[in-house]
């Protein structure tokens, strides 16, 4: 006879400070909260309907990550990402994604290759339609598939964080059509080399891709009005 007794399972919820931290961090990295925005502990707590303690802890964590700066002991300001940040993030991204690629080259399966090829098809259509916002999303997905193929959780998390930090520059400089075309070309090369299990050429294409994006963002920021 089937046991009809009710089983109550209490799911463990993440600490409130972590939820606040992740929401604010995501909003800053995606540009939903722009550079230079003032953040006040009391205002955030009031808007969220929670006490100030988890908000304070979340803001301290964001300050340690250099995403915000404290001012006048009364609030914080979203830190303006500059050219030095662009260079640093690009260099670290190159190191992390190259390592993820090395791990992925021998582990990537047919399902991942198929996902990458579908991504290329959708990206081609997005470029043809001049839908650059969609291309930005597909570009992130492309790199996420490769990182996930490494089967190394720490690498996956680090690559994801660096992509989001890089997205701050994409938001500021606005991806242009020519950069999207070049990115798609590099993506095609990387997929071809992954299928051939040629790490050396795949690494070179990835490094060239990241360097080209860095140069274009640098040029756009330097010539910004």
Q: Domain ranges for the chain, please list them.
A: 16-78, 83-222
Check pLDDT > 80 for residue 18: yes
pLDDT band at 164 (very low <50, low <70, confident <90, very high): confident
Answer whether residue 9 shows pLDDT above 60.
Answer: no
How sure is the predictor about 138, in pLDDT bands with cuts at 50, 70 and 90?
very high
H/E element holding 39? strand 38-39
Check whether 220 has a pLDDT greater than 90.
no
> What span, in angstroms and rounded, lies between the C-alpha atoms of 124 and 59?
40
Q: How confident is the model at residue 11 (pLDDT cuts 50, 70, 90)?
A: low
Say whether 83-222 and 16-78 share the same fold.
no
**What ranges make up the beta strands (E) of 62-185?**
68-71, 75-78
- DSSP 8-state assignment for residue 129: T
The CATH number of the domain covering residues in 83-222: 1.20.120.530
Statement: residue 30 has pLDDT above 90: no
Share of the chain above pLDDT 70, in %: 92
Angle in degrees, CA 43, 45, 46, rounded to 5 = 65
Q: Given this model, what pLDDT does residue 1 score?
A: 44
Nearest to 57 by CA among 29, 8, 22, 96: 22
Q: Residue 133: its pLDDT value, please?
A: 87
pLDDT at residue 173 above 70? no
**Count helices and strands in the chain by DSSP H and E runs:** 9, 3
Q: For the chain, what is the mean pLDDT?
A: 89
- Per-residue model confidence (pLDDT) at position 10: 53
pLDDT tier, 225 (very low <50, low <70, confident <90, very high otherwise): low
CATH class of the domain defined by 16-78: mainly alpha
Buried b / exposed e along 201-210 (16+ C-beta atoms within 10 A): ebbebbeebb
């Amino acid at each position: 006879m089937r046991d009809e007794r009710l089983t109550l399972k209490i799911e463990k919820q993440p600490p409130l400070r972590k939820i606040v931290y992740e929401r604010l961090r995501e909003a800053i990295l995606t540009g939903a909260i722009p550079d230079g925005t003032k953040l006040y502990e009391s205002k955030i707590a009031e808007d969220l309907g929670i006490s100030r303690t988890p908000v304070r802890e979340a803001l301290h964590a964001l300050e340690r990550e250099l995403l915000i700066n404290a001012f006048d002991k009364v609030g914080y300001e979203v830190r303006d990402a500059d050219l030095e940040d662009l260079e640093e993030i690009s260099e670290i991204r190159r190191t992390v994604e190259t390592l993820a690629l090395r791990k992925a080259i021998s582990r990537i399966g047919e399902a991942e290759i198929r996902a990458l090829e579908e991504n290329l098809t959708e990206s081609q259509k997005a470029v043809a339609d001049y839908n650059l916002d969609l291309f930005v999303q597909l570009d992130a997905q492309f790199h996420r598939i490769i990182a996930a193929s490494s089967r190394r959780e720490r690498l996956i998390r680090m690559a994801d964080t660096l992509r989001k930090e890089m997205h701050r520059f994409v938001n500021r400089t606005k991806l242009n059509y020519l950069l999207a075309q070049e990115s798609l070309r590099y993506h095609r090369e990387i997929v071809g080399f992954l299928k051939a299990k040629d790490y050396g050429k795949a690494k070179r294409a990835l490094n060239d891709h990241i360097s080209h994006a860095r140069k274009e963002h640098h040029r756009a920021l330097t010539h910004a009005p």
